[in-house]
Chains A and B, each alone.
Chain A
Amino acid sequence: MDDTNTDVIQGTLDMLILKTLSLQPLHGFGIARRIEQISRAVFKVNPGSLLTALRRLERAGSLDAEWRQTANSRRAKYYMLTRAGRKQLESETSDWSRRTAAVARLLNAEG
């Protein structure tokens, strides 16, 4: 196994989850797979952190959860964004852009 760091950047997991769920409700593994795919495997999500983050967001009111029957008639817990979650995503996204822009400016600064 190579040493490439696939950890999610500290403090961004919530935002990534919210963003992923803003497109459609998904279950836990679905979210993990979507993050991995879209990030082109730069980020791999650890299930322990993901599921706890989902609990936290659900408790905070950013997400709602619902048990659904899957195709092979098993139970799966699907998460969806609430209105509060959408607001949180907006503010986190703009905050993130502001900060990455600042970091980019610093890294590109001459001298």
Chain B
Amino acid sequence: MSLWRQLTRGLRTLTHRAAADQDDADEVQHYFDQAAASHMARGLSSGDARRAARHGAGNLTTVREAVRGYGWENAIDTVLGDVRYALRRLRGSPGFTITTVLTLAVGIGATTAIFGAVNPILFEALPYPEPGRLVMLSDHDGAGARIDVTFGTYRELVMRSRSFTALAVAKPWQPTITGRVEPERPDGQRVSASYFRVLGAVPLLGRDFDPADDRPQGSNVVIVSDGFWRRRFGGDRDIIGRQITLDGDGYTVIGVMPPGFASVLAPAAELWSLLQYDASLPSFQDPARHDSREWGHHLTMVGRLLSAASVDRATRDVAQIARTTVPEFVRPEWASLTGGLIVHPLQQDVTSIVKPSLLAMAGAVLLVLMIACVNVTNLLLARAAQRRGELAMRAALGAGRSRIVRQLLTESVLLAAIGGALGLVVAELGVRTLVALSPPELPRAGAIRIDGAVLAFAVGVTTLVGLVVGLLPALYGIRSDLHSGLRRTSPPAGGGQRAARGILVVAEVALALVLLVSAGLLLRSLERLVAVPPGFDASGLLTMQVQVSGRQYDDGNARYRFVAKALDAVRQVPGVASAAFTSQLPLSGDVDGYGVRLEANRRGDDAGDGSALRYAVSPNYVQAMGVRLRRGRLLDEHDAAGHPVAVVVSESFARRNFPGADPIGQRLRFGPDTSWETIVGVVGDVKQTSLATGETDAVYVTTSQWLWVDARLSLVVRATGDPAAVISAVKAAIWSVDKDLPIVQVTTMNALVARSAAGRRFALAVFEAFGFVALALAAIGLYGVVSGSVTERLREIGVRTALGASPSDILGAVLRQGMTFTALGVVIGLLGATVASRAIATLLFDVSPLDPISYAGVVAVLISVSAIACWVPARRAAGGDPLIALRTD
């Protein structure tokens, strides 16, 4: 009832404002008249009575305002009035408004864009039920690095561990799909039947995998992603039960995943089939059979913790299992688990690589936002100084302090709101740019977008910014002294306010310096990184991946024949200097390592001698890549089947394993190969995983002397001219041998080298953009303050000129003032930069966080830009006519 009354009467007041105001005025007037009448009745004269009434009741206007201000509708009315007034004032000074709005749009937009990228990756939970219970499990290699697990380890954990509701393993799979439409080689995964159960996902159509199919010679079944289903099969719901041909074999489609299913472990995966490894593992009991694929370190293991189990408990549980061997599970030495197993929350695992760079970007964008805020605060302060007369007048007319503060805050919040709205456009562009520039290692890039959470964030930031930037000017607005404000001859700004503007400019310079130093350090890191020799000659190298697939290649000899024929064909192509195959290509993302055991190192225990990368190559691979021979000889055509196995090792492998001894002639066992292999040569180190990581041990062996021929091979072609020019001829040469083989990832080695630095390039691009914005804003801020101070001091300058100061004296004085701000800002900024640079230390490469060149360069840039920003108003001051200056007041 009463609420209804509130609403209806409030609305009536709002819609009939003039009548309501008239009523209020009449009532107050009537009150006064009555009061005066009652005084007259007691014998006072008419004038005295009115005075007495006023004395007893106070200011008529104040009473009317108090009465008028009652009710919720008046709050709205006041706000609307304030907004209208603020809009009128902002329209009145378009230069100020545009500068402020653009500054805020850049600040809020950049912050929103970075939040849009950081939020889904770092803070949002993974898109699975109870994602906190998902963990990754990995093994240690001899050197302590994390490596994938073997199927044997997985089986043992499945049987023995007590902390998981389920465990699953997966490996990458890139089958070639053939059929009525043109062949395609989608990304996929081969997984254990438990995979989707562990993730907590179920197919939208059809069914999940059946454990009964997950065995050698089980039925060939496949589950496809929603995207693949729509693209390849037009979203046909009858797809379930249909046969498709993958790598020449028939597979039955049993399920389609829901559209929202995000394959976090393999972001590009669109197809899932079963591993079909031998779970009974006869090889457990028979060390001689440990050479099966079940014992290769090539599986990603993920587990779902029991609701009661913590990561700690699971870690203890698997550590206990790793320590104690049981007769049912005999482990080969390279999967002996002596280093223990690593249990990591999946969320942490997915984001660990990019977290430092994302956090650094978040920090950087906050600096940008702060600079933008400081800049706008400064502009608002300058404006408040110009409006002192107006504010003093309003205060004199009865506006309360809170009323003035509200008016000023309305203006700043309005500016922020316009800036924020424009900022959303900036954010949308920013997010698109971020996604376009994002390095391949950025997980969940697909989740980066402007969504509800990001919008809410933008609105929050905008409101906060509006209040923050408006607060200081508003406080100065009410603190200004009425009398001096009304006197026209007084200096337009108080000393306190001028000091505040100075401090803000110093802060701005300092913040900009911190950002610029970070950008400088990243730039220097990238320079260092791309200067790192990869260990091979990348120029003129063309690379591509060939996948031998289909039934006809089940036989290793068939694969070998194909490799030999393809190489011959490619070498015939005009413009090709040499060509070679390798099982893994440097900097392509391949990492394939095996345990090593040295003959010279017979300790009698089961521990191996660390691991090394396996390069199963055609004999001329090392020459074709341009890797340097250090000692001994290279592999050649004579290192073929039937001959003693010869291997070439990398320099760091030789140095680590045979310090001070001659590695040539030493023998080792590598991976599942049980025969002894002889080292015949030592070659230079090659960067396999990235330019930034240290040397990795490597073992090169010819394909014909290795246990198997890999189905996925990389072809490296050294062209005499532009490698891109021979692409189609090389492809045609391979297809002349077998026209059905997919050729993918065709690229130049130079592109792979560049991609290796993509993560840092990404971070650098962001920091450079932010650094530039910061520099520009700081320069604008400095210009604004110095220019404002010149305007305020025109009179003083005029007097000094009239008294004989030369233009250069004036120029010097103004420049000195501006450069003092800069110098202070630089000193404070340098201190800040030493702290900030330590925070981005993980992003740096071969550059000290205190790198003097970066610091000196940035200081020089900042001082030059500041000098320009100060020089412009200084010129104006020096060139002014003293008489005009003196006449202005």
Contact = CB atoms under 8 A, between A and B. Distances in A.
B267 interface: no
Nearest to A55: B70
B57 A51 contact: no
Nearest to A27: B30
Interface in B1-31: 1-2, 5-6, 9, 23, 26-28, 30-31
A58 B12 CA distance: 14
Interface string B416-449: 0000000000000000000000000000000000
Interface in A1-34: 27-30, 32-33
Most B-side CB within 10 Å, residue of A51, A60, A74, A77 = A51
B63 A51 contact: yes
B35 A29 contact: yes
B63 A47 contact: yes
A29 B67 CA distance: 14
A48 B34 contact: no
A59 interface: yes
B2 A48 contact: no
Contacts of B67: 48, 51-52, 55
B557 interface: no
B783 to A, nearest CB: 49
A84 B34 CA distance: 29
A75 to B, nearest CB: 6
B212 interface: no
B70 A77 contact: no
A56 B74 CA distance: 13
B5 A48 contact: no
B30 A48 contact: no
A47 B2 contact: no
A67 to B, nearest CB: 8
A75 B34 CA distance: 12
B1 A61 contact: yes
Interface string A32-67: 110000000000101110011001101111000001
A59 B6 contact: yes
Contacts of B32: 47
A67 B6 CA distance: 20
Given A47-B57, A48-B62, A51-B67, A59 B2 contact: yes
B58 A48 contact: yes
A39 to B, nearest CB: 15
Contact of A75 (B2, B6, B30): B30
A32 B66 CA distance: 17
A76 interface: yes
B56 interface: yes
B57 A77 contact: no
B129 interface: no
B38 interface: yes
A74 B70 contact: no
Contact of B5 (A30, A47, A52, A61): A61
Most B-side CB within 10 Å, residue of A30, A46, A47, A56 = A47
A30 B34 contact: yes
A42 B204 CA distance: 81
B71 interface: yes
Contacts of A84: 1-2
Contacts of A60: 2, 5
A59 B5 contact: yes
A51 B27 contact: yes
Nearest to A61: B2
A74 B32 CA distance: 13
A65 to B, nearest CB: 9
Contact of B66 (A28, A48, A61, A76): A48
A46 B58 contact: yes
B1 A28 contact: no
A77 B58 contact: no
Contacts of B27: 27-28, 51, 76-77
Contacts of A32: 31, 35
B78 to A, nearest CB: 15
A4 to B, nearest CB: 15
B30 A28 contact: yes
Interface string A66-97: 01000000111100000010000000000000
B1 A51 contact: no
Nearest to A29: B34
Given A28-B30, A77-B27, A44 B70 contact: no
Nearest to A67: B23
A48 B32 CA distance: 11
Contacts of A55: 67, 70-71
Contacts of A48: 57-58, 62-63, 66-67
A111 B9 CA distance: 54
Contacts of A67: 23
B38 A77 contact: no
Interface in B68-109: 70-71
Given A55-B71, A56-B70, A47 B30 contact: no
A77 B6 contact: no
Given A29-B35, A56-B70, A47 B6 contact: no
Nearest to A75: B26
Contacts of A75: 26, 30
Contacts of B5: 59-61
A75 B32 CA distance: 13
A51 B6 contact: no
Contacts of B33: 74
Interface string B46-57: 000000000011
Contacts of B9: 58-59
Contact of A51 (B2, B34, B66): B66
Most A-side CB within 10 Å, residue of B33, B62, B70 = B70
B44 to A, nearest CB: 16
Given A28-B27, A55-B71, A76-B30, A44 B56 contact: yes
Nearest to A60: B2
A54 to B, nearest CB: 9
A51 B28 contact: yes
Most A-side CB within 10 Å, residue of B9, B31, B62, B63 = B31
Contacts of A47: 28, 31-32, 35, 57-58, 63
Nearest to A76: B30
B864 to A, nearest CB: 61
B71 A51 contact: no
Interface in B738-786: none
Given A44-B56, A48-B63, A29 B31 contact: yes
Nearest to A49: B66
B30 A52 contact: no
Contacts of A30: 34
Contacts of A28: 27, 30-31
A56 B2 CA distance: 11
A75 B26 CA distance: 7
B66 A52 contact: yes
B1 A46 contact: no
Contacts of B1: 61, 84
B575 to A, nearest CB: 90
A33 B30 CA distance: 14
A100 to B, nearest CB: 28
Contacts of A76: 27, 30
Contacts of B38: 29, 33
Given A44-B56, A59-B6, A51 B31 contact: yes
Contacts of B31: 27-29, 32, 47, 51
Contacts of B56: 44
26 contacts: A27-B34, A28-B30, A29-B30, A29-B34, A29-B35, A30-B34, A32-B35, A33-B34, A47-B28, A48-B57, A48-B62, A52-B66, A52-B70, A56-B70, A58-B9, A59-B6, A59-B9, A59-B70, A60-B2, A67-B23, A74-B30, A74-B33, A75-B26, A76-B30, A77-B27, A84-B2
Given A47-B32, A48-B66, 17 more contacts: A27-B31, A27-B34, A28-B31, A30-B34, A48-B67, A51-B27, A51-B28, A51-B63, A55-B70, A59-B2, A59-B5, A59-B9, A61-B1, A61-B5, A74-B33, A75-B26, A84-B2
